[in-house]
Amino acid sequence: MRRNRKVKKNAALKSGTMGIASLIVSALIMTMIYYVLDSRCTLIARDIGKVERRFTQLEAECVREAARWDELKVTERLTEKLNRFGLEMRYPRQDQIVRMTADGRPAGVVMIASAGGLILKGSLWNGAVTPGGTNWSLAALFALSFVLLRRTKWNPIAVMVLAGAMNLAIALVDKAPPQSVPGSAASPHTRRQS
C-alpha cells in the first residue's frame, strides 16, 4: 500500500511538473513570437514613416512647381522671357496651320481623300461594286483626271471643271437619238406615226 501511495504521489508530481513545464515552454514560445512580430511591426512602421515623409516632400514640391508655373504663365512674364531670348510670338498665318488626325496624318488630306473615294464609288458603281455595274466612261474620265493631276500638276479646280464638262459631253452623246441613214430601215428608237 505504501508503494501504491508512492507511485500515486510520483505520478501526481510528474503530471504537475509536466503541466508547469508545458506552461513555461508555451510562455517562452509566445514571448519569442511577440518579439519577432514587434520587430517586424517596428520595421514596417519605420518604412511607412519614410514613405509618408517622401510623400509630404513631393506634395510640397508639386505645390511649389504649380506656383512657379502659374507665375510664368502671366502674360507680362512670358513677354519678358521672350524678349530676353530675342523671340517674337505671332499668330500663325492660315497657310502655316496644319491640323492632324489622331494617327498623325494631316486632317485636310484625309478628308479630301475620303470625299474623293466616296464620290468615285458613287459615280462608278450604282449600288454593289461589280465589274458589270461599272460605268466605264466615268472610269476613263477618272483615270484621265488622275493622270492630269499627277503628271502635269494642273490646278485641281481646273481638272474638276474639265472633268465635269467632259462628263456632260459624254451624257449628251449617249442621250442623242441615233441618225438614220437615208434608204435604210427605220431606227428602232424612232416611233412610227400612225
Query: What secondary structure does DSSP assign to 22-54, as a single string?
Result: HHHHHHHHHHHHHHHHHHHHHHHHHHHHHHHHH
Task: Using only the alpha carbons of the chain, give its radius of gyration.
Answer: 48
Query: What angle in degrees, to the nearest 10, is found between the helix axes of 75-84 and 2-73?
Result: 70
What one-letter code names the amino acid at 194? S
Tell me the per-residue pLDDT of 57-113, one tens digit each, with 9 for 90 and over.
Answer: 999 999 999 998 888 788 888 888 888 888 887 888 887 777 777 777 777 777 777
Mean pLDDT of 3-22: 65
pLDDT of residue 41: 93
Cell of 80: 519678358
Give the whole-angstrom CA distance, residue 189 versus residue 177: 7
Helices (H), 89-155: 107-124, 136-147
The answer on pLDDT for 188 being more than 60 is no
The answer on pLDDT for 50 being more than 50 is yes
* Lowest mean pLDDT, pick from 53-57, 86-90, 179-183: 179-183
Give the whole-angstrom CA distance, residue 37 versus residue 180: 113
The answer to whether the CB of 186 falls within 8 A of the CB of 192 is: yes
Confidence band (pLDDT; 50, 70, 90) for 12?
low
Confidence band (pLDDT; 50, 70, 90) for 194?
very low
Confidence band (pLDDT; 50, 70, 90) for 192?
very low
Whether the CA torsion 94, 100, 105, 108 is positive or negative: it is negative
Confidence band (pLDDT; 50, 70, 90) for 40?
very high
Mean pLDDT of 126-140: 76
Give the whole-angstrom CA distance, residue 112 versus residue 180: 46
The answer on pLDDT for 33 being more than 90 is yes
Q: Which residue has the cell 428608237?
A: 189
Mean pLDDT of 189-193: 48
Give the whole-angstrom CA distance, residue 88 versus residue 150: 39
The answer on pLDDT for 164 being more than 90 is no
The answer on pLDDT for 25 being more than 50 is yes
What one-letter code names the amino acid at 7? V
